[in-house]
Structures are given as structure tokens and as C-alpha cells.
Amino acid sequence: MFWTERPAESHFENVNDDEYGNPRYSQTSYGPFYGADLSKASFKGAHFRNADFRDAVNIDEANFIGAYGLEDCRFDSDDVKERVLAKAATGRLRGRRRRRPRTDQFLYTAQSDSHAA
């Protein structure tokens, strides 16, 4: 699962200050897994780049065994990140090597069909 840009540090932005000079924040963006219930989700062996798991529900129940790229993903806390990384590592301890997906194998263009006629 690839996202082209790294997620923002925060989904909240200072929109203005109140009458006492205190900053007021507003949520300006949401991550792709915002509010998603991951209790039965399986990311087994998945390869992630720039994923944002903040505000996901039941992330501890998701299957991350053997997943890659989680080190650079965003989580609600370092504690959650450590637990997910520990789960992912259990699939790599068995000596299996996982081949990284080739990004060009997912590209499809209309030019590919032009020779079929």
C-alpha cells in the first residue's frame, strides 16, 4: 500500500486565536484509516509506504505478520507503533525472504491494448 506523500505531522492546524490569545485548533485532514475498524483486517506480508494509521480502531487486532515499511508509518503513539512492529517481525523470524513488489508491474496503459487489434 503506497501513498505518494508522507502524512502530515498532525491533522490539526492552528486556525486562529481566541479573545485571550490562546490558540484554537481545527482538524484539517484525516488519515486513510480514520475511524476504520481493523479488528478483522489482514495486512499479512503487506508492503507499506507513507501509511497513516492514526485514529484507526482496534489496530491491535489487525494481522500485520510479516508486513514491511511500518517503521515510517504514522501511528497514534510510539507504544502502538512498537506493538505493531513486534507483530510484523514475527513473520520474518521464520527465515522467509519476501520479494519486494516491482512498482512497474502495477502500471497499465491504454498503449498496451493498441497492439492487440
Task: Look at the chain and report how many structural domains it folds into.
Answer: 1
Burial group, residue 53, by CB count within 10 angstroms (0-12, 13-18, 19+): buried
- pLDDT tens digits, residue range 25-36? 776 666 778 899
Single pTM value for the model: 0.61
β partners of residue 27: 12
Q: Identify whether the C-beta of residue 15 lies closer than 8 Å to the C-beta of residue 26.
A: yes
Q: Domain for residue 4, yes or no?
A: no
Task: Name the residue with cell 512497474.
Answer: 104
Which range of residues forms the domain containing residue 58? 13-101
Q: Domain for residue 91, yes or no?
A: yes
Q: Domain for residue 116, yes or no?
A: no
Q: Identify whether the C-beta of residue 68 lies closer than 8 Å to the C-beta of residue 97.
A: no
- pLDDT tens digits, residue range 9-56? 766 677 777 778 888 777 666 677 889 999 999 999 999 888 899 889
